[in-house]
Amino acid sequence: MKVTFTQILLVCIIMFSFRSAAQDKVTPDDLRVLLGEWSGTLTYIDYSSNKPFSMPADLIVDQGKDEYQLQLTNKYPNESSANSKEKITIAKNGMQINKVDIKSREELPEGQVKIIVEYKGKDNDKNALIKKVYIIGKTQLVIRKEVKFDNSITWLTRSEYKYSR
């Protein structure tokens, strides 16, 4: 049987694509570590002044309707009118968070997991590519929103939650 370089290359590409896709899947175990209470800060770029503003922020994470969903309760001690609730839902196949495709999943030192999703949307009434970065660990949680406006090459960090416990 004669094996050509093209056949070997094709097999390598197929194996790499399966390995890469499997690594980018998110499982309920990735998110389960978030359950409980967190405290930290929210820093965001104010739309009117274009300057950063920070404020205390607390987070309570409860199990949602099943293992694929978490309920997040955001509390702001100095601005309770801004308190809010949201959900994080991962697709059963592990390839989406809140119906947005996962761009990457990376295991970091100290057992943390970094998950990135990207989608087209609007920020400050301008078309943009929006990136959400989740850095998840037992004692640290970061949720960062980055924005790259159309016709721009730079990313702007619009907001960042930094929690610990």
Query: What's the structural domain count of the chain?
Result: 1
Q: How far apart, in whole angstroms, are the C-alpha atoms of residue 2 and residue 128?
A: 50
| Contacts of 19-25 spanning 24+ positions with Cβ under 8 A | 21/95, 23/105, 23/106, 24/95, 24/102, 24/103, 24/104, 24/105, 25/93, 25/94, 25/95, 25/102, 25/105
Decide if 141 is inside a domain: yes
The answer to whether residues 90 and 28 touch, using CB atoms and an 8 Å cutoff, is: yes
Given this model, what pLDDT does residue 9 score? 47
Please give the pLDDT value at position 110: 85
- DSSP secondary-structure letter at 77? T
Per-residue pLDDT, 61: 97
In a domain, residue 150? The reply is: yes
Q: Is residue 13 part of a domain?
A: no
Its domain, for residue 32, covers 24-164
Amino acid at 132: K
pLDDT in tens, the chain (165 residues): 555 555 554 444 555 444 344 458 999 999 999 999 999 999 999 888 989 999 999 999 999 999 999 999 999 999 999 999 999 999 999 999 999 999 999 999 888 999 999 999 999 899 999 999 999 999 999 999 999 999 899 999 999 999 999
What CATH number should be reported for the domain holding residue 104? 2.40.128
Asked, for residue 142, whether it belongs to a domain, the answer is yes
Structural domain contains residue 90:
yes
Q: How confident is the model at residue 24, as a pLDDT?
A: 80
The answer as to whether 77 is a domain residue is yes
* Paired strand residues for 102: 117
Whether the Cβ atoms of residue 84 and residue 67 lie closer than 8 Å to each other: no
pLDDT digit string, tens, across residues 119-152: 999 998 999 999 999 999 999 999 999 999 998 9
Residue 96, beta-bridge partner list: 101
Residue 2 lies in a domain: no
Q: Does residue 163 contact residue 141 with C-beta atoms inside 8 Å?
A: yes
**Residue 21 confidence (pLDDT):** 44
- Asked if residue 12 is part of any domain, the answer here is no
pTM of the predicted structure, to 2 decimals: 0.83
The pLDDT value recorded for residue 165 is 95
